[in-house]
Structure 1
Amino acid sequence: MGSFGCSPDAVTYNTLINGLCRVNEVNRGHELLKEVRTRGEPKPDVVTYTSLILGYCKLGKMYDASVLFDEMINSGIKPNAITFNVLIDGFGKAGDMLSALSMYEKMLFLGYFPDVVTFTSLIDGYCRTGQVNRGLKLWHEMSARNVGPNVYTYSVLINGLSKENRMHEARDLLRQLKCSDIVPKPFMYNPVIDLFCKAGNVDEANEIVAEMEEKKCKLDKVTFTILIIGHCMKGRMFEAISIFNKMLSIGCAPDTITVNSLISCLLKAGMPNEAFHIKQTVSQDLDLFVPSLKRTIPVGTNMDIPMAV
């Protein structure tokens, strides 16, 4: 640009640095910032620093992100809410909740209001570090501050509760979701459906599936596989076959885990004809979905899945 008598401005440098960070070339972006600082113009701003801080956070390099944050402050550049959210999320994903909470407190001290991104990042961090009760406390604080949750807030808390086998609390969150305007995703429901299936309560799992469909949330491969195995474990083989057929009818491609599990359970239940039919269905009808699947399903598949028959 310089050879054409055109000097790059702050927007140009910010675009370059942001682009480098997006492709994980954060060190090159940092070198560009150093070049700008050495030249003295154009002046880096909060966007420049936040892009680099985000880049380091995505790489898990929280020390480098912290150094840049301090450099920004010492340069007289005031961080904005996005800067704080980026750092809170980065520390949370790194499992450093003391630093995440410290950033949250600085954010409040500077007069910024935490938003759904702030709270979701903190809740996610607490759930990742096994502090789900603290995550729940923040969930209630959100409500007190009139900050509504989004799909990811629900997801991280439901997932955290599910990992601790707190299925009834996770189920309560799904009931709240049912009454909200949030458009849900299957990954929000799957952990809870899995818990109820493993507990032998497939009726409640089916009720959750009905709520999914009521909210126009399509079941995915994981949902179907959980349901098929759950019904097999309960000895409900024909229901499992029906779920498998529904999976095919809506164009959701099963994988080898789904098919092998169903065939194995049918054989254990003394239903070889049905197992053979499933294998034939895979061989004849699934080329559009998974061309290699039919070559990987032996009729004698034997997987260790407990069943009540």
Structure 2
Amino acid sequence: MLPRPSHLLLLLPRHLSSSPRPRPLPLPLPCAVHAADLWISKALSTSFLLFFPSSLPLLLLFKRLHLSPLVASLAITRLQHLAPPPSLSAFHLFLLTRDHLSITHPIPTYELLINSLSLSGHMPHALNLFDEMLTACHYSPDETFLGFLIESCVANGLLDSALDLLSRSRDFGFQLGPSRYNNIMTGLLNSNRVKDAIIFFKHHLLLGQFTPDIWSFNIVLKAMSRLGDIKSALELLHEMQKLGYSPDIVTYNTLVNGLCKANQVDKAYSFLKKLRLKGLVVPNVITFTSVISSYCKVGKMNDACKVFDEMLHSGIKPNQVTFNVLIDGYGKNGDIHSACMMYDRMIHGGCRADIITITSLINGYCMNNQLDQAMRLWNEMGLKGLRPNVYTFSVMIHYLCKLNRLEEAIRFLDELTKREDIVPKAFVYNPVLNGLCRIGNVDKANRILTEMEKRKGYPDKYTYTILIIGYCMKGRMEDAITLFHRMFDTGCKPDNVATRSLVSCLLKAGLPNQASTIMSRLSCDNFSVKDYHLALGRKSPEVSVAV
């Protein structure tokens, strides 16, 4: 065994040996590695991490030991298993040894760092290292490594970099499989670059640069459906069948959902029946629920119930989403009795209700003027292990304000403000602000707005309009003007309701110059001479138009 050096610098690993850091993984070392090299690499990595990121003076001390590329690579590899942060500290050591010790690192070290940097989200560093490796090491990646880089770029939102890497694959002498193309298309879709996803598919398919699989077609069908281009989606379905591809349940669910979102629910239902009659594929709960949900949204509850019965007769068990859309549909269409029956059916069928279920029932009761029943459900939520969400609060607050039970609504709002897990939304606060302004308590409305903003809630155009009109009704024109300019400066575009109301009140208050200033600021907007005359003839602002 080699004697342990007495230099303080080389005693650092012993001093830190009790650290709770995870042990480094065994390294595939060449047989020619000496024990001294291993020990020096351990000293370098541990001491480097101790002084990171101010590690250059320390590294220069190691220069006297004439570090070899092998020792430097061993130290970099070991840093991958020490924390924090492993990838950046290892990368920093790589740069310092390269730039100040003139060490040329081997390909495995590059690959290790690129992998680590990619997984930790430091893609710009990983891509720079990749380009450096291609030049410095005359490196040619294989399909697996390039595919990993592409997926990492997509995962980190660097879609253009992923596209660039894909375009270089042929230069490396291979063609990537469809999963890599699918990954990029999914990334484009998730980034709302829907048209780009379709163009990408058509371009590479036309050039014969990849052989799509069923998932490739499903992604493009989803993109076309999202754009509402159902005609192109159906044409693509026929084309893929001509090419010998067999559509699966995901394919058909995508088309059914696309038809529903394009307000072609009857066509979606016909498509569903066609699937069942021709035995093309067995529809599942998602297929049926898409159609049921769309019928509920347009108020065709009889049709929704008919599809629901067909679903049961097909032996498909409804899930939580299926019941929720039916309960919500019945409630919004004034049939709270059927909504409650569906809820009972849901519970007896062994399907657990969630907060969406209860919120739909509460909304149904409120819409049918049964606020006491809504309150009963609210109070029973805790017994069911449920907590109201922002929409549950919104429903209760809205209908309490509608019934002029403002103090109760404010109590619900106070309860909401105690929930740190709920970000305040303007649509929850607006009914209370509107109610306070209508009774002339604009100061309290402004205090509530301030509290909302302190909790990272952002007012919308209705919030501003409510308060502007509230100030106008109290004759507080300077406050109304200030709020109007604030609304404009925050990027919330004033609508004609707020503008006409403010200009009308300014003119009637004998403040034509201020009215002119408001109109001049909107001269390039939608406030015209016609609006000016409408403002002159406007009798008085109404706060309720803003909610």
Query: With structure 2 as the length reference, what TM-score do the two structures score?
Result: 0.52
**Bigger Cα displacement from structure 2, 207-216 vs 232-241:** 232-241
Partner of 1:62: 301
Q: In structure 1, which of residues 115, 138, 148 is the aligned counterpart of residue 354 of structure 2?
A: 115
Distance 1:306 1:28 in 2: 46
Distance 2:277 2:541 in 1: 67
Q: 143, 146, 152: which is aligned to 2:391?
A: 152
Higher mean C-alpha displacement, 96-105 vs 238-247: 238-247
Question: 2:273 corresponds to which residue?
Answer: 34
Which residue number in structure 2 is paired with residue 48 of structure 1? 287
Q: Which residue of 1 aligns with 2:182?
A: none
Look up the match of 1:226. 466
**In the alignment, what sits opposite 1:16?**
255
**Of 188-197 and 142-151, the range deviating more from structure 2:** 142-151
Partner of 2:199: none
Partner of 2:344: 105
Change over 3 Å in CA distance of 1:5–1:298 after alignment to 2:
closer
Which residue does 1:164 correspond to in 2? 403
After TM superposition, give the deviation of residue 2 of structure 1 in Å. Answer: 4.1
Residue aligned with 2:307, SS: helix
- 1:286 maps onto 2:484 in alignment: no
Which aligned pairs between 1:194-205 and structure 2 lie closer than 5 A? 194-205=434-445
Partner of 1:304: 539
Relative distance call for 1:110 and 1:296 in structure 2 (3 A) is same
Letter in 2 for 1:301: L
Please report how far the alpha carbon of residue 174 of structure 1 lies from its aligned counterpart in structure 2 after TM superposition: 1.1
- Give me the whole-angstrom Cα distance separating, in 1, the residues matched to 2:377 and 2:528: 45
Secondary structure of the 2:305 match is helix
- Alpha-carbon shift at residue 86 of structure 1 (Å): 1.1
**8 Å CA contact retained: 1:282, 1:294:** no
Partner of 2:501: 261
1:240 aligns with 2:475: no
1:282 aligned partner, one-letter code: M
Aligned amino acid, residue 230 of structure 1: G
Shift of 1:92: 1.3
**In structure 2, what is the Cα distance between the partners aligned to 1:81 and 1:149?**
17
Change over 3 Å in CA distance of 1:281–1:265 after alignment to 2:
closer
* Contact 2:506–2:514 (8 Å) recurs in 1: no
What is the Cα deviation at residue 299 of structure 1? 9.7
Instruction: Give the counterpart of 1:94 among 333, 341, 350.
Output: 333
TM-score (norm 1): 0.90
For residues 15-49 of structure 1, the C-alpha deviation after alignment (integer angstroms, 9 at most, x for no partner) is 22122112122222222222222223422221221
Higher-RCO chain (CA-CA 8 Å, sequence separation at least 6): 1
Does the 8 A contact of 1:37 with 1:44 survive in 2?
Answer: yes
Letter paired with 1:279: S
SS in 1 for 2:318: coil
Q: Which amino acid aligns with 2:460?
A: D
Alignment partner of 1:185 is 2:420: no
> 1:169 is matched by which residue type in structure 2?
E
CA contact (8 A) 1:53 1:86 kept: yes
Bigger drift between 16-25 and 93-102 goes to 16-25
Residue pair 1:259, 1:297 contacting (<8 A) in 2 also = no
Question: In structure 1, what is the Cα distance between the partners aligned to 2:480 and 2:252?
Answer: 58
Cα deviation for residue 247 of structure 1 reads: 2.1
After superposition, the Cα gap between the structure-2 partners of 1:5 and 1:223, relative to the gap in structure 1 and judged at 3 Å, is closer
Q: C-alpha displacement at 1:192, in angstroms?
A: 0.8
Q: Output the CA distance in 1 between the equivalents of 2:425 and 2:285.
A: 34
Partners of 1:257 and 1:226 in 2: how far apart? 10
SS for the counterpart of 2:422 is coil
Deviates more, 1:175-184 or 1:133-142: 133-142
- Residue type of the partner of 2:538? M
Tell me the C-alpha RMSD between the 2 structures: 2.2
Alpha carbons 2:437, 2:470 under 8 Å: kept: yes
SS class of match (2:277)? helix
* Structure 1 unmatched ranges of 5 or more: none
1:99: how far off?
A: 0.9
Correspondence for 1:128: 367
**Secondary structure of the corresponding residue to residue 532 of structure 2:** coil
